[in-house]
Amino acid sequence: MLGFLVPHPPLIIPGIGNGDEIPETRRAYKKAASEAEEYRPDTYVVISPHSVLYSDYIHISPGDSAEGDFGNFRMGKISFHVEYDNELAAEIARLAAECDISAGFEGETDSKLDHGVMVPLRFFDVPKIVRISISGMSFIEHYRFGMCISAAAEALDRKICVIASGDMSHKLKSDGPYGFAKQGPEHDEYIRKCIEASDIRGLMSVDPILCEKAAECGTRTIIMMLGAFDGKEVQSELLHYESPYGVGYLTAAFRADGNAPSLLSDINKDRHEEIIDMREKEDAYVSLARNNIENLVSTGKDVTLPDDLPDELTASRAGVFVTIKKDGELRGCIGTISPTRKSIADEILGNSRSAALHDPRFAPVQPKELDSLTYSVDVLMPPEKIQDEGQLDPSRYGVIVSCGGRRGLLLPDLDGVDTIGEQVGIALRKGGISRDESYELERFEVIRHGQK
């Protein structure tokens, strides 16, 4: 099998740009297209971050064909028409359903091709394509979906080439269109080194927070493509990288070179061992939250409070937040700023129920997920009013912002929240409060039990 990571800057297209802004990327594109032409795939599977996007669903474009043009870039006369490989798309969707991956053909409101697809189509001569989006789901889910792509191709005896369309960091220059963040060059250097070393496990292990801070749009497309190579020895080649305008453009080839153990199996094994280790070390706070969630999801009932709980859990009252994570990403978090029940233990029971079943951002936790979840419990100290943001420290204090009856809270010491401005900004958004409004600030400390 063959795959490519390609950027999608519209300015690479003559008529939108001058055609000579990023000549080395054009040459790398042409080299990739030439190799693909020699490979002669039956179908190209194109993964785009700019197709139909949902937080909890991977979208496969439906229909027999699609069209698009660069009208959004003042060049509508450059247009495309592609035929879809419906049989392969349907088999991918069927296998995803078998694997309990949230994916399919639903929810398309605009069938027009996006530039994440059209830029590669300008270089690759494609017979038919399957067009797939990314989602807000975890890296592991995208990798698992990629495995469905190759399994479907094998079942239908399709020779495929997978194109992962995506740019690297958009935050590489202070005078660039998106500004600068130190994580921008860190992210791109990490990805480059992994590709140069054919370090597929390293690509799978990239820090999601680093990706978010770097403002990239290619990581999930890469990981989905890599899933299609699972069980194969993969050799990757960096064809070119440049960042002349503050955005990283990376072109790379990925080639299957014999069989290898499943990388997903190794990752799952390591994660399982890590979760077992965490559960062996959990204290009474985390154990109570976990046991209650497991009992709720399995039986629909809260656990009875154990008789041997420490006095600090049964004789004290405080606000409590219960946080659930899956594959290192948030799966639910609900809490109370001040105590609402007769003890911390009862607060944990109530908030663990809400975090697992009633967090509006997520579907209720399902029994099949229980073995892969990790937990933490934050016990809040009484908040204190402060005069300004200078009295905050996001690594030590949480923050509460209030305006009228609206309140927003953010816990301290969270991954990806490094500055006071970020912390207050997130709390304001959670409370539906504008920066322009007059709001009050409070800070608080927590005692965290379990993972960060």
Domain ranges across the chain? 2-266, 282-379, 381-452
3-state secondary structure of 121: helix
**β-strand pairing of 232-242 with 43-48:** unpaired
Residue 7: pLDDT over 90: yes
Q: Which two tokens mark 210?
A: 């680093």
Longest dimension (CA), the chain: 75
Q: pLDDT confidence of 19, banded at 50, 70, 90? A: low
More confidently predicted of 416 and 423: 423
The DSSP letter of residue 305 is: P
Residue 20: pLDDT over 80: no
Report d(CA 353, CA 342) in Å as an integer. 16
Q: Which residue has the tokens 């801070």?
A: 213
On whether the CB atoms of residues 250 and 194 are closer than 8 A, the answer is: no
Residue 74: pLDDT over 90: no
- For domain 2-266, give the CATH superfamily: LigB-like (3.40.830.10)
CATH number of 381-452: 3.30.1490.150
- Give the number of other Cβ atoms within 10 Å of residue 194's Cβ: 21
Which residues, listed in sequence order, are joined to residue 321 by a DSSP beta bridge? 335, 378
Report d(CA 191, CA 159) in Å as an integer. 27
On whether the CB atoms of residues 211 and 191 are closer than 8 A, the answer is: no
Q: What's the pLDDT at 139?
A: 95
On whether the CB atoms of residues 163 and 3 are closer than 8 A, the answer is: yes
3-state secondary structure of 186: helix
354: left (phi over 0), alpha (psi -120 to 50) or beta: alpha
The pTM for the full model equals 0.88
More confidently predicted of 74 and 198: 198
Q: Report percent pLDDT > 90 for the chain.
A: 92
Residue 16: pLDDT over 90: no
Which residues, listed in sequence order, are joined to residue 408 by a DSSP beta bridge? 401
- Mean pLDDT in residue range 281-306: 95
Class of domain 282-379: alpha beta
Q: What's the pLDDT at 452?
A: 57
Q: What's the pLDDT at 266?
A: 92
Q: What's the pLDDT at 237?
A: 98
Total residue count of the chain as it appears in this document: 452
Residue 289: pLDDT over 70: yes
Report d(CA 171, CA 237) in Å as an integer. 24
- Mean pLDDT in residue range 151-164: 98
Side-chain-side CA neighbours of 357 within 13 Å: the count stands at 19
Q: What's the pLDDT at 329?
A: 87
- Mean pLDDT in residue range 173-198: 96
